[in-house]
């Protein structure tokens, strides 16, 4: 193999899940030129200085005119790749069409529920995806199919930060008073494509949780992380929790990039979110304690890639996650009203109880009875 393209056009978190595959490709093909193709600028940022990549190509296929997209793909086709790999969870057929247009000699992809005779023409190598294992393992199996040899190394995220990003985060942490002993990081958002924003834990419940935690735990700080999609909810939180913001117990750090956000996550003691990019960033930065509120989209392929973390169960989902969401390009099944009700079924008591057992301020914290 002289030239390899890893196609990672789904979510930004999926590009982080792909980093173990990049490492294994470099180990197997040390002399090859390995490149990545991504959709989102945040994905390009995360992979920008990955030691196993020689180049990252980013193109907004979802918004660009079709002629521009074809011209861009034609430019990649001229590279004459020996191998392209469509990473898990790219279930939409369009991702495989792009691989076919780029025209690598070997084109590998998983087979999803929407597989048809056309998909078998678009790729040269495929195997069924497995919902029971992590996406990184699904990616490894695809590499094993192509290379014919097993992957023996367990997968792990690889996120290499620059010195200026690390130093910026350290300075910010000092300025804001963040510490692993006293700070709980929180992300109130989720992905904005399809209808994935509907899996957010309702903001009114976040408000109730914040008031309860701040009343119960003297010295606890809440640091709310996010990007452009969280501007509006953060504004409401600031307004509703104004006295705590003034007292520097509710913080809203502004981060110049997703990489700076990752670096700052290294200074909190715990992190709470649904399944989203920030969940993966917290795992990659080895935040000591991590909690994930279960949503209809929670399945083994996208869970945090780490040994210890806590899932806060959703009683309305009740293990029927695949009834709501599969990697076939479709949105979450259900109306906005029904999905809001599903997420509202996770109570403040349930989240506070989970946090109380593994509080960032010590195991002695027990939430007040409702």
- Structural domain count of the chain: 2
Q: Which residues does residue 289 pair with via DSSP β-bridges, in sequence order?
A: 270
| Structural domain containing residue 335 | 164-357
Q: How, if at all, do strands 3-8 and 125-128 pair?
A: unpaired
Q: How far apart are CA 273 and CA 298, in angstroms?
A: 12
Rounded to the nearest 5°, which phi and psi values hold at 241? -110, 35
| Closest of 290, 274, 263 to residue 339, by C-alpha | 274
**pLDDT value, residue 181:** 87
Question: Is 153 among the domain residues?
Answer: no
State both tokens at 26: 């470099």
In a domain, 366, yes or no: no
Task: Please tell me whether residues 18 and 108 are part of one structural domain.
Answer: yes
Residue 97 and residue 176 in one domain: no
CB 141 within 8 A of CB 110: no
What pLDDT does residue 364 have?
42
CA torsion, ordered 325, 329, 332, 336, to nearest 10 deg: 180
CATH of the domain at 91: 3.40.50.2000
d(CA 11, CA 182): 31
DSSP 368: P
* 130, 172: one domain: no
Boundary (domain end) residue, out of 147, 181, 216: 147
Cβ-in-10-Å burial (0-12, 13-18, 19+) of 175 comes to exposed
Residues of the chain with pLDDT under 50: 363-370
pLDDT of residue 366: 43
Residues 131, 220 within the same domain: no
- Cis-peptide into 89, omega within 30 deg: yes
In a domain, 7, yes or no: yes
Same domain, 112 and 254: no
Are 313 and 210 found together in one domain? yes
Tokens of 235: 């504004």
Residue 344 inside a domain? The answer is: yes
The answer as to whether 281 is a domain residue is yes
Q: Round to whole Å and give the CA distance between 251 and 234.
A: 10
Together in a domain, 124 and 176:
no
In a domain, 325, yes or no: yes
Distance CA 37, CA 57 (A): 5
Boundary residue ending a domain (116, 147, 178): 147
Which tokens go with 331?
Answer: 């949105």
Task: Say if residue 170 is in the same domain as residue 141.
Answer: no
Residue 364, in any domain of the structure: no
User: Residue 357 has what pLDDT?
Assistant: 65
Is 365 part of a structural domain of the chain?
no
Q: Are both 182 and 330 inside the same structural domain?
A: yes
- Asked which of 147, 178, 197 is the last residue of a domain, the reply is 147
Q: What is the per-residue DSSP string for 108-177?
A: EEEE-TT--HHHHHH-SEEEE--TTS-HHHHHHHHHHHHHSS---SPP----PPPHHHHHHHHHHHHHHT
pLDDT at 163: 96
Both 23 and 80 in one domain: the answer is: yes
Tens digits of per-residue pLDDT, 243-302? 999 999 999 999 999 999 999 999 999 999 999 999 999 999 999 999 999 999 999 999
d(CA 85, CA 123) in angstroms, rounded, equals: 10
Let me know whether 196 and 139 are in one domain. no
Q: Are residues 226 and 282 in the same domain?
A: yes
Is-contact 95 120, C-beta < 8 A? no
């Amino acid at each position: 193999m002289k030239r390899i393209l890893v196609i990672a056009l789904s979510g930004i978190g999926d590009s982080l899940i792909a980093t173990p595959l990049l490492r294994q490709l470099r180990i197997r093909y040390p002399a090859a030129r390995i490149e990545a193709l991504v959709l989102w600028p945040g994905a390009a940022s995360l992979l920008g200085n990955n030691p196993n990549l020689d180049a990252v190509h980013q193109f907004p296929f979802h918004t660009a005119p079709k002629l521009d997209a074809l011209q861009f793909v034609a430019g990649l086709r001229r590279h004459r790749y020996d191998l392209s790999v469509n990473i898990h969870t790219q279930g939409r057929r369009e991702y495989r069409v792009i691989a076919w247009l780029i025209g690598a000699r070997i084109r590998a992809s998983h087979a999803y529920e929407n597989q048809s005779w056309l998909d078998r023409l678009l790729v040269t190598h495929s195997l069924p995806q497995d919902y029971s294992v992590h996406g990184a393992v699904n990616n490894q199996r695809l590499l094993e199919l192509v290379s014919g040899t097993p992957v023996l190394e367990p997968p792990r995220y690889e996120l290499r930060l620059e010195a200026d990003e690390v130093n910026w985060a350290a300075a910010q942490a000092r300025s804001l008073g963040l510490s692993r002993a006293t700070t709980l990081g929180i992300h109130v958002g989720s992905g904005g494509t399809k209808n994935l924003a509907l899996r957010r834990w309702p903001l009114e419940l976040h408000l109730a949780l914040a008031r309860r935690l701040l009343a119960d735990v003297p010295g606890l700080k809440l640091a709310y992380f996010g990007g452009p999609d969280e501007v509006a909810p953060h504004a409401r939180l600031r307004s509703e929790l104004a006295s705590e913001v003034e007292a520097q117990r509710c913080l809203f750090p502004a981060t110049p990039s997703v990489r700076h956000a990752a670096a700052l996550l290294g200074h909190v003691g715990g992190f709470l979110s649904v399944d989203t990019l920030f969940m993966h960033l917290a795992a990659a930065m080895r935040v000591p304690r991590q909690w994930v509120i279960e949503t209809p989209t929670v399945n083994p392929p996208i869970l945090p890639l780490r040994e210890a973390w806590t899932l806060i169960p959703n009683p309305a989902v009740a293990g029927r996650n695949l009834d709501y969401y599969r990697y076939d390009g479709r949105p979450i099944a259900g109306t906005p009203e029904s999905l809001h009700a599903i997420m509202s079924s996770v109570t403040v008591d349930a989240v506070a109880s989970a946090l109380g057992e593994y509080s960032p301020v010590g195991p002695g914290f027990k939430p007040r009875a409702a």
